[in-house]
Amino acid sequence: MPLEFMSVQVGRKKIYGVIHWPKEVPAPLVIGSHGLFSSKESSKFILLGEGFSEEGIAFLRYDHQGCGESEGELVGDPLLRLKDLESIFEFAIAHPLVKKESIGLFGSSLGGFISILKGAKDPRVKAVVLLATPLSLKGLKGVRKVDGKEEMRKVKNVLIIHGTQDEVVPFSEAQTLFELAQEPKKLVPLPGADHRISEPEDRLKVVKLSLDWFKNFL
């Protein structure tokens, strides 16, 4: 499927991304936000882009500031990372090949937390998928406190996927996120899966589960 290489300005910094386009456009689009030390070149995100575009949904994966190709310094502050996502979202919704009423968010780990913040306040977000996502960022130093519980109460159309053997974010946090979210919502445990979703068969499950969810709402 064709790729589009793009960039947006966030303050004085430029961040870079890649869009996987399906054959038929305009198309629904999902924005993928990666974890703290990851990038848009994550094998999971490439797999998502390929899988989604084959099924008619565009997938935009991007590098947060200080990650991958993007300019700036690596930061874990959720409000600073949210600015990256907001700039990417505005680029997407203005793109002529995107169905503006059919945009969703996929977030992994810290990227999931950022997706909660965006989905909670922007009605243009039609669905959210959270993978290995924390309930709070209390373990990160130097970040502003954000009430993940309060924001999650505002999120709907959300699918939560989490490994039962996640060594970074306990599965219990996924259960709490699920309890807080509005309907429609779904929690899918991945038995034995770790934080990175290392096993190939589990990664394929993530793609299929996410794709099926987005097809319902985009």
Segments making up each domain of the chain, as ranges:
3-217
Burial (Cβ within 10 Å: 0-12, 13-18, ≥19) of residue 13: middle
**Residues comprising the chain, all counted:** 218
Superfamily of domain 3-217: Alpha/Beta hydrolase fold, catalytic domain (3.40.50.1820)
The whole-number pLDDT of residue 141 equals 56
The whole-number pLDDT of residue 153 equals 97
The whole-number pLDDT of residue 74 equals 84
Provide the 8-state DSSP code for 65.
T
Which of 136, 142, 125, 141 is CA-nearest to residue 182? 125
The whole-number pLDDT of residue 72 equals 85
The whole-number pLDDT of residue 29 equals 99
Residue with tokens 């096993």: 199
The whole-number pLDDT of residue 147 equals 78
Classified as helix, coil or strand, 5 is strand
Hey, what are 17's tokens? Answer: 């991304």
Using 70 as the pLDDT threshold, list the residues of the chain that sit under it. 1, 139-145
Strands (E), 21-135: 27-33, 58-62, 98-108, 125-131
The whole-number pLDDT of residue 142 equals 53
Task: Give the whole-angstrom CA distance, residue 45 versus residue 63.
Answer: 11
